[in-house]
Each structure stands twice: as C-alpha cells, then as structure tokens.
Amino acid sequence: MTTPVCADASTAAAATTGHRRYPSFSSYVRARGPVLLRTARSLTANPSDAEDLLQTALTKTYVAWERIEDHRALDGYVRRALVNTRTSQWRKRKVDEFACEELPEREAAPAPDPAEQQSLHDAMWRAVLRLPDRQRAMVVLRYYEDLSEVQTAELLGVSVGTVKSAVSRALGKLREDPELGPVR
C-alpha cells in the first residue's frame, strides 16, 4: 500500500496508517496542526522546510503516542520535538571543503551606486525620524554618534537596561518600516 501525497504537513500525518491505530492522534493533528506549523515556520526560513520539520516531529510524536501519559501536554511535547529536530538538523549540516592547487580569482565587487546609497540613507533617516523621541534619541546616540550603551545611559540619565530595551524596540520598528522593505 502506498501512502498518498498530502498537500501540507498538518494532513500528512493523518494520511498515514496511524489514523486507524490512534484516532486521537489524527484528531490532534487536525486540530493543532496549523498552530504547530506556525511554530515550525518560526524555526526555519523556508515554509517547505517548516512542513518537513513538523512532519518529522509529528512522526516522533506518533511513535511515542502510547508512552505519552498526559495528552493535555501534547503541544509542549511536539514543540520540544520541533526544537530538538531543528537543532539536530543544523548540527548535522556539513560543509565540504576541497583543497585545490590554485585559489580562485576574486571578482571585483561592483562599486555601489552613490544615488542608491543616498536614497537608502534618506529612507533610513526618515524612518528614524518617525520613531518616538526617546527611542530616536537612543538610536542616534548609539548608532549615529557611536556611543556605548553605558555612555548613552549616562548622557540621558537612564539605566543601561532602559537603553537596551528602547533600542531593541526601535530597531524592531525600523525592521518593520515599509519604506525600508526593499532594502532587506
């Protein structure tokens, strides 16, 4: 018997023979699959890899289904399987190096277009100006004036932790700024 190909990871586990042996597993996958897939997507950059990761974690969960005593804690079990599987994947990643007699010539990188650089600088500055006053001050002192967190905190009369958290929030806002979107 062949296993049918499924459209996504949330239905793939239910398509295996497990839906006959553990109907509660199939119900769990149908109910919690989308939530678990979002968790998997947060662990990988590629949606296809996230589906594969979730499928692997669900397979591990299926194998351990009888040993899991508290089925109310299944989400935690699957999330732990997701994280452990992802960690194992990047640990196993191997980079092959090959020795060669001659080093390849490096191609000269094209000089950046001054107009594009100025456009990026202007967009960044407009985004910084849209930040709240306190965050803007901290970003300017940290990144434009190149002050340390301690120096910035002393200058503004706040704690270092306040500087760290405010700068973190400001950088998050800058990352989400639509005007800076194409730069990423």
Global pTM?
Answer: 0.42
Show pLDDT as tens, one digit a residue, over the chain (184 residues): 344 444 444 444 444 444 567 788 888 899 999 999 998 998 888 889 999 999 999 999 999 888 888 878 888 889 999 999 888 887 776 666 667 777 777 777 777 888 888 888 888 889 999 999 999 999 999 988 889 999 999 999 999 999 999 999 999 999 898 888 765 4
Are 167 and 134 in contact by the 8 Å Cβ rule? The answer is: no
Q: What is the dihedral of CA 108, 114, 115, 121, to 10 degrees?
A: 110
